[in-house]
């Protein structure tokens, strides 16, 4: 039996007027519906300004990238934005608004 990936987990928390959605595990066709549901829920019922923390993501299939792009558009439609943080270098050019770290992506930590 080969070593299995950790189970996919996607949870959010608030930091000021922003949400942080922490993603852990492979973003594959099985995980995409969960990611999409969580992002839509946070944007439409909690906070439309959010950072998606991708530090613990090793695999991101094209469907996952599409979900991030759609969620970015949804956030803008709701008066917010979506930023990503901590993505692997290979993923940075493919995702919306990449930041190197969570602290850089959160407005409260950005120098004025």
SS (H, E, C) the chain: CCCCCCCCEEEEEEECCEEEEEEECCECCCCHHHHHHHHHHHHHHHCCEEEEEEEECCCECHHHHHHHHHHHHHHHHCCCEEEEECCCHHHHCCCCCEECCHHHHCHHHCCC
Torsion over CA: 24, 25, 27, 30 (sign): negative
* Residue 107: predicted pLDDT: 83
* Residue 3: predicted pLDDT: 56
Check: CB of residue 4 under 8 Å from CB of residue 11: no
Q: Are strands 49-56 and 9-15 parallel, antiparallel or unpaired?
A: unpaired
Tens-digit pLDDT profile for the chain (112 aa)?
445 666 899 999 999 999 999 999 999 999 999 999 999 999 999 999 999 999 999 999 999 999 999 999 999 999 999 999 999 999 998 998 999 999 999 986 544 4
* Residue 84: predicted pLDDT: 97
């Amino acid at each position: 039996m080969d070593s299995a990936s950790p189970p996919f987990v996607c949870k959010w928390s608030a930091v000021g007027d922003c949400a942080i959605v922490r993603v852990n595990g492979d973003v594959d066709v099985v995980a995409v519906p969960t990611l999409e549901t969580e992002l839509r829920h946070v944007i439409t019922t909690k906070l439309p300004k959010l950072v998606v923390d991708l530090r613990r993501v090793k695999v991101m299939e094209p469907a996952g990238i599409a979900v991030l792009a759609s969620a970015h558009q949804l956030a803008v439609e709701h008066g917010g934005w979506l930023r990503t943080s901590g993505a692997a270098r290979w993923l940075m050019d493919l995702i919306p608004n990449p930041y190197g770290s969570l602290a850089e992506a959160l407005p409260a930590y950005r120098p004025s």
